[in-house]
Amino acid sequence: MPERFRPRGFYFEDFALGQRIETAARTVTETDIVSFAGLSGDYNQIHTDAVYSAGTIFQQRVAHGILGLSIASGLAVQTGFMEGTIMAFREITEWKFSKPIFIGDTIHVELDVTDLKALPRLGGGAVTIKLSVKNQKDEVVQQGTWVALMMSKPKEG
């Protein structure tokens, strides 16, 4: 008989205020930017035209801000802390694009638990997480807050 799926994610009760989770790092490539432009329809020249971008304040192409947020989300999910235990993302608030992400930048995410609110009627609780997306120079390039609804631990028995 096949083994039943067992979530490896954290349940609401497993989180603690001040808890920090750090992700692996990932290098942003030209392919990422081109693929995201195709997916989103955002072909703004600052992302897709090297000659145009050379004449801007950045002097080179920059990743879409929302691409950075999407990569941050993927890196967070890859840690496994939400696997099988997240009910929903409830909010993304106060998201700031502090510095550009360039082709070749390597980013990672630091996630800090800042608030916990039990929601027994939903079978879990809201976990507020502050995210800091950092590049290879340890500079914050994006930051903001997520609220995730996480399941409570199943009752034994």
Q: Where are the domains of the chain?
A: 13-151
114: its two tokens: 């800042």
Mean pLDDT split into 10-residue runs, the chain, 157 residues? 74 98 98 98 97 98 98 96 95 95 98 98 97 98 97 84
Count each helix (H run) and each strand (E run) in the chain, helices first: 4, 6
State the pTM of this model.
0.91
CATH architecture of the domain with range 13-151: Roll (3.10)
For residue 53, the model assigns a pLDDT of 97
For residues 120 and 103, the answer to whether their CB atoms sit within 8 Å is: no
